[in-house]
Chains A and B, each alone.
Chain A
Amino acid sequence: MRILIAGGGEVGFALARELSRDQEVFVIDHSDEARERFAGLDVQFVAGSATSAEVLERARAADADLMVACTGHDEVNLVACALAKSLGLSRTICFVSDDGFLTAGGSGESIREHFGIERFVWPEAQLADDIERIIAAPGAIDAEVFAGGRIRLLEYRLQEGSPLTAGPVSTLRVPHGALIVAVKQGGTFHIPRGDTRLGAGDKIIVMGTPEALRDLEPQIEPSSAGGTRRQLVTIIGGGDVGFRLAQRLDAASNVEVRVIEKDRRRGEQLAASLRRALVLNGDGTDLELLEAEGIGRSDVLVSVVDNDERNLLASLLARQLGVRKVIARVSRPANLRLFELVGIDVALSPRGAAVASVIHEVQAGRANLLAVLEEGQATVVELVVPAEYQPRALAELKMPPQSIVGAILRRNQVIIPRGPDQVRPHDRLLVFATSESAASIRDFFAPGR
């Protein structure tokens, strides 16, 4: 596959590094620094602007299969995609950082068609959406929804004394309709077997119906009082992510939102567009302010300033004040582990997540990629069972190691399967796989196997 990356910034570099391992990659950027940065990678660097037809021709855009436009400017990305399209390129992915034009004329559909863009990637919005989902599931540190909300995937960190740490997985009383699909112990994911023992501090990923997961909650966090209570959420930083998150939470009736924003004028803008949320003018690392406003009473604190150090400090202060769940934004993926090490419940990197989703889209081929977890360490893909397939029990299906069928969608039915459950033609399987088995799972039902 031949891939064109317009923009040699942080995102472009991360993409190129991953994709250049087994694809042919062209990178377009006009700066000399970018050229030096890419010198170490096995890619073709084209100097110039991505909005120039001449440059695109030099990068042989007409023969490329995919273009990813990820310069720092939305306008440049849009024009580059449109231009490449007119030169005959078939697929384009466009990074954006603003929804001014996306929302125009209903969900950006017309704009997308107009510029011939296959997909918009908006890292900040994705991050805000991820955080919102996590907040909506008390106790969980990551959350995804599938099949229109009939299946959910939640990630938890096990507490000391949780009933789930009592014995091997096969002896645990997990509610029917919920399935522990993965455990993260010591930095790596693996699929639990019957004799796997879970311990405090482990992260587990559970797939299941919303009802079953609700029943599971008391086992994971015995202290949680159920999800119907009013939640108090404090957001530090009213930038793109903070604002979008505040807007989404503001619309929910059972969430009370506070936004702490340092810049006075930005604060006024936020207060103007948020209906109920309280905007506070101040610094999220100002202990006096945090104490005066009783931030310690928050159920969730989200620190999404565009600065890792400040996020870390604010999160640690919040922890000290007694906030139950702390979510922080991490700009440099390298810092992710540090954040989790010092006890931040959830550390998320907007660019990391966006890069991972693009890479998986490139690699996924025909399989339908539903979710990317933990910066690409695990994925959820959807596989359709071919028509000529002989029905058989799930246990007899020779799935690759380090993958597990988390749910079966049969017409309108949702089945959270156990060993004896049947797999039939036309079933849609939601398969959870770690990164090492991701490649083999994609072609599982492909002809020739």
Chain B
Amino acid sequence: MRVPVVIHLIGTILRLFGLTLLPPAAVALLYAERSDAAAFLVSGVAAAAAGQLMVRASRAPGEDLRRVEGLAVVAGAWVLAAHAGALPYVWAGMPPVDALFESMSGLTTTGATVIRDFGEFGRGMFFWRSLTQWLGGMGVIALFIAVLPRLGIAGRQLFFAEAPGPTDEKLTPRIRKTAAALWTVYAGLTALEAIALVAAGLPLYDSVCHALTTLGAGGFSPHPQSLMGYRNPAAEWIVTGFMFLAGANFALHYRMLRGETHVFRRDEEFRVYLVLTVAATVLVAILLGPAAGTIVDRVRVASFQVLSILTTTGYASADFNLWNDQSRAVLVALMFVGGCAGSAAGGPKVVRQILVARYSLLELRRTLHPRGVLPVKLGGRVVPEDVMREVLVFFLLYLAVFAVCTVVVVALGADLVTGFTAAIATLGNIGPGLNVVGPMGHYGDFHPVSKVVLTAAMWVGRLEVLTVLALLPPEVWRSAQWAGAGAHVPRAPAPAGGRLS
């Protein structure tokens, strides 16, 4: 691993990330929150300056970027972007650990919050919270690949390191065009939802914020009681629909818009995702019992909560912490599934669950037919052995990380249900858990060490475990080249941030 190259690319990304602090500054100005506007401007400039410093002090990659370097760039860029995003919160008076938690929760589209009193913060801050989830949903790096032609070949490595699904499907032969296409669909759906919510009677500001956090499968709401606070069934249905879309593969949306109308029917993962959604909704609607209202009300409440958890969004249109244990058990089970690969959702992903289930069933069948040739198939195609191995390792590591987080959080004072659900809700980028961290609760009262651990869990979970854990073995660092060995590759001056906006 060539550390200067990694630093250079992280610097490039960070420099650009500084720009994303401009829109909330404008929103803050709009609502006459001068101090907050200054916070965003200063933070943006600081991030851009830090990025510029890193770029200057290091060297550009040549033609090639090694796999491990790609992983390091993505992992590093996400940590630094979270730090940069935390600056405005610190300015507004949040303790640094809390600010980092909130910022990481935003970027990783988790939606877990440490804010106790929503009245302490202005509209600019809440807009920034929502915007971070929107940026993180489709992937900060995917966005920059779309707008940054210079990433070139490095872009390919980074793209798959950021969204390492079991299938490396590209929509177009060029990664930059693929990233651009996905972002276009993403932005289009966001605009559509914002318009629909305004039409349903939500204020413009709230509509935009919710659209940003729905499509990103994030779950932050400017309202302290989330969607429940609006008491607007139409808005709930709209959000339910868009959560479902956000949890499906965006590549399918794109191909659908290109006229391939059969893609949803043909896609095995999507079919399972749909069946899972419907089955869980029906189950929860039944388990809630007649006390929860009419059939229509129960289906609405059940489908909203089921999709909120399954797509790892984390909104609440009802305080499901108060539900009976049967219903809550279904939601907890869904926390371990997640959305589709290639979506904005977190979690282990439906496709991995399918693969592991098939693999297990085939192993059972193998005891009957020891000489059988029994490949795992997905969509009629054989899944290569190494992909299958990666999926299994993913699950092992995922559960290991989950167990460690639970133990740490419980050891530092949380009750078991709280600790258990807080760990999976952060690792799976869901947001709310149960008990203390229920949908109407918050993470503010955790021990600071717990907060740091859960912040790391969000980061590890968003990058699907392997991207981060692959950097842990000591030999990665033993063989690292720290200094800029070799000549500095001369090249044209980097474009200033302003030219891109």
Interface residues of A (CB under 8 A from B): 261, 264, 267-268, 270-272, 275, 278-282, 289, 292-293
Can you name 18 A-B residue pairings with CB atoms under 8 Å?
Answer: A261-B373, A264-B373, A268-B375, A271-B373, A271-B374, A272-B375, A278-B372, A279-B372, A279-B374, A280-B369, A280-B371, A280-B373, A281-B371, A281-B372, A289-B371, A292-B371, A293-B369, A293-B371
Q: How far is the CA of A392 from the CA of B372 in the complex (A)?
A: 63
Distance in angstroms between the alpha carbons of A282 and B371 in the assembled complex: 7
Within 8 Å by CB of B375, from A261, A271, A280, A293, lies A271
User: Which residue in B371, B372, B381 is a CB contact (below 8 Å) of A272?
Assistant: B381
Residue of A264, A268, A275, A278 most packed against chain B (CB within 10 A):
A278
Provide the bound-state CA to CA distance between A282 and B381, in Å: 23
B contacts, CB < 8 Å to A: 369-375, 377, 380-382
Q: Which residue of the partner chain A has the closest CB to B381?
A: A272
Whether the pair B369, A272 counts as a contact (CB closer than 8 A) is no
Nearest-neighbour CB distance to chain B for A428, whole angstroms, equals 43
Q: Which residues in A have their C-beta under 8 angstroms from that of B372?
A: 278-281
Q: A268-B375, A272-B375 are in contact. Are A292 and B381 (CB under 8 A)?
A: no
- Give the docked Cα–Cα distance between A278 and B381 (Å): 16
Tell me if B380 and A281 are in contact (CB < 8 A). Answer: no
CB distance A279 to B373 under 8 Å?
Answer: yes
A275 to B377, CA, bound (A): 9
Contact of A270 among B369, B371, B373, B381 (CB under 8 A): B373
Q: How far is the CB of B26 from chain A (nearest CB, A)?
A: 55
Q: What separation, in Å, do the CA atoms of A267 and B372 have in the docked complex?
A: 9
Apart from A261-B373, A275-B380, A279-B373, list 17 A-B contacts with CB within 8 A.
A267-B373, A268-B373, A268-B382, A270-B373, A271-B373, A271-B375, A271-B382, A272-B375, A272-B381, A278-B369, A280-B369, A280-B371, A280-B373, A281-B373, A282-B371, A292-B371, A293-B371
- List of A residues within 8 angstroms of B374 by Cβ: 271, 278-279
User: Would you give the shortest CB distance from A235 to chain B, in whole angstroms?
Assistant: 14
**What is the chain B residue whose CB lies nearest that of A265?**
B373
Instruction: Determine whether the beta carbon of B373 is less than 8 Å from that of A292.
Output: no
Interface of B is mostly: loop
What residues of chain A lie closer than 8 Å to B381, measured between beta carbons? 272
In the complex, chain B residues whose CB is within 8 Å of the CB of A282: 371
The listed residue with most A CB atoms (<10 A of its CB), out of B369, B371, B372, B375, is: B371
B19 to chain A, nearest CB (A): 47
What residues of chain A lie closer than 8 Å to B369, measured between beta carbons?
A: 278, 280, 293
Q: Could you tell me the distance between the alpha carbons of A319 and B367 in the complex, rounded to whole angstroms?
A: 27
Shortest distance between the CB of B262 and any CB in chain A (Å): 19
Closest to B365 in A: A278
A278 to B374, CA, bound (A): 8
- Cβ-closest chain B residue relative to A271: B373
Nearest CB of A to B365, in Å: 8
The 5 closest A-B pairs by CB, nearest first: A279-B373, A267-B373, A272-B382, A271-B373, A282-B371
CA distance A275 to B380 in the complex (A): 7
Whole-angstrom distance between the Cβ of A405 and the nearest chain B Cβ: 48
Closest B residue by C-beta to A282 = B371
Name the B residues within 8 Å of A280 (CB-CB): 369, 371-373
Q: B380 to chain A: which residues have CB within 8 Å? A: 275
Bound CA span A278–B371, Å: 10
A292 contacts B370, CB within 8 Å?
A: yes
**Nearest CB in chain B: distance from A340 CB, A:** 31
A280 to B370, CA, bound (A): 9
CB distance from B376 to the nearest CB of A (A): 10
Measured between beta carbons, the chain B residues less than 8 angstroms from A292 are 370-371
- How far is the CB of A420 from the nearest CB of chain B, in Å? 57
Residue of B with least CB distance to A238: B373
Contact partners of A275 in chain B: CB under 8 A: 380
In the complex, which of the residues B370, B372, B373, B377 has the most CB atoms of chain A within 10 Å of its own CB atom? Answer: B373
A210 to B377, CA, bound (A): 39
- Shortest distance in angstroms between A250's beta carbon and chain B's nearest beta carbon? 12
CA distance A279 to B373 in the complex (A): 5
Q: Which residues of A contact B371 (CB under 8 A)?
A: 280-282, 289, 292-293
A289 and B381 CA atoms in complex are apart in Å by: 28
- Chain A residues with Cβ under 8 A from B370's Cβ? 292
Rounded to whole angstroms, the CA-CA distance of A280 and B369 in the bound complex is: 8
Q: How near does chain B come to A271, taking the closest CB pair, in angstroms?
A: 4
- In this complex, the member of A261, A275, A281 whose beta carbon has the largest number of chain B beta carbons within 10 angstroms is A281
CB neighbours (8 Å) of A271 from chain B are 373-375, 382
Identity of the chain B residue whose Cβ is nearest the Cβ of A279 in the assembled complex: B373
B370 to chain A, nearest CB (A): 7
* CB neighbours of A279 from chain B (8 A): 372-374
| A15 CA to B372 CA, complexed, in Å | 42
A270 vs B373: C-alpha distance when bound (angstroms): 9
Chain B residues within an 8 Å CB radius of A293: 369, 371
Whole-angstrom distance between the alpha carbons of A271 and B369 in the complex?
A: 14
Which A residues lie within 8 Å of B377 (CB)? 272
* Chain A residues near B375 (CB-CB < 8 A): 268, 271-272
CA distance A272 to B371 in the complex (A): 16
The docked-state distance in angstroms from the alpha carbon of A293 to that of B373 is 13
B369 to chain A, nearest CB (A): 6
Chain B proximity of A278: nearest CB distance (Å): 6
Within the assembled complex, what's the spacing in Å between the Cα atoms of A264 and B381? Answer: 18
- Give complex CA distance A268, B381 in Å: 12
Chain A residue nearest in CB terms to B370? A292
Minimum CB–CB distance for A291 against chain B, Å: 12
B302 → A minimal CB distance (Å)? 35
In the bound complex, residues from chain B placing their C-beta under 8 Å from that of A267 are 373
User: Which residues of B have CB within 8 Å of A272?
Assistant: 375, 377, 381-382
Least CB separation from B380: chain A residue: A275
Question: How far apart sit A292 and B369, CA to CA, in the bound complex (Å)?
Answer: 8
List A contacts of B382 (CB < 8 A).
Answer: 268, 271-272
**Chain A min CB distance to B367 (Å):** 12
CA distance A282 to B375 in the complex (A): 16
User: For residue A286, which residue of chain B has the nearest CB?
Assistant: B371
In the bound complex, what is the Cα–Cα distance between A268 and B370 (angstroms)?
15
> How far apart sit A272 and B374, CA to CA, in the bound complex (Å)?
9
Give B175 Cβ to nearest chain A Cβ, in Å: 28
Expressed in whole angstroms, the minimum distance between the Cβ of B268 and any Cβ of chain A is 13
Report the Cα distance A68→B382, complex, angstroms. 40
Measured CB to CB, the closest approach of chain B to A84, in angstroms, equals 41
Cα-based distance from A352 to B277 in the complex (angstroms): 58
> What chain B residues lie within 8 Å of A270 (beta carbons)?
373
Nearest residue in A to B382 (C-beta to C-beta)?
A: A272
Q: What is the bound-complex CA distance between A234 and B375, given in angstroms?
A: 19
| Bound Cα distance A278, B375 (Å) | 10
**A288 nearest CB neighbor, chain B only:** B371
Complex Cα gap A292–B374 (Å): 17
Cα(A15)–Cα(B90), bound, Å:
91
Residue with the highest number of chain A CB atoms closer than 10 Å, among B372, B377, B382: B372
Q: What CA separation (Å) do A393 and B139 show in the bound complex?
A: 84
Q: Which partner residue on chain B sits nearest A267 by CB separation?
A: B373
A271–B375 CA distance with the chains assembled, in angstroms: 7
The residue on B at minimum CB distance from A264 is B373
Q: How far is the CB of B477 from chain A (nearest CB, A)?
A: 39
For the complex, give the distance between the alpha carbons of A292 and B367 in Å.
12
Query: Measured between alpha carbons, how far is A271 from B374 in the docked complex, in Å?
Result: 7
B contact residues around A261 at 8 Å (CB): 373
Docked Cα-Cα span, A360 to B367, in Å, equals 52
CA distance A354 to B297 in the complex (A): 69
Q: Which residues of B lie under 8 Å from residue A281 when comparing CB positions?
A: 371-373
CA distance in complex: A280, B371 (Å)? 5
Complex Cα gap A289–B373 (Å): 14
- Give the nearest-CB partner of B374 in chain A: A271
Residue numbers in B under 8 Å from A264 (CB-CB): 373
Q: How far is the CB of A236 from chain B (nearest CB, A)?
A: 13
In the complex the two chains form, what is the Cα distance from A261 to B372 in whole Å?
10
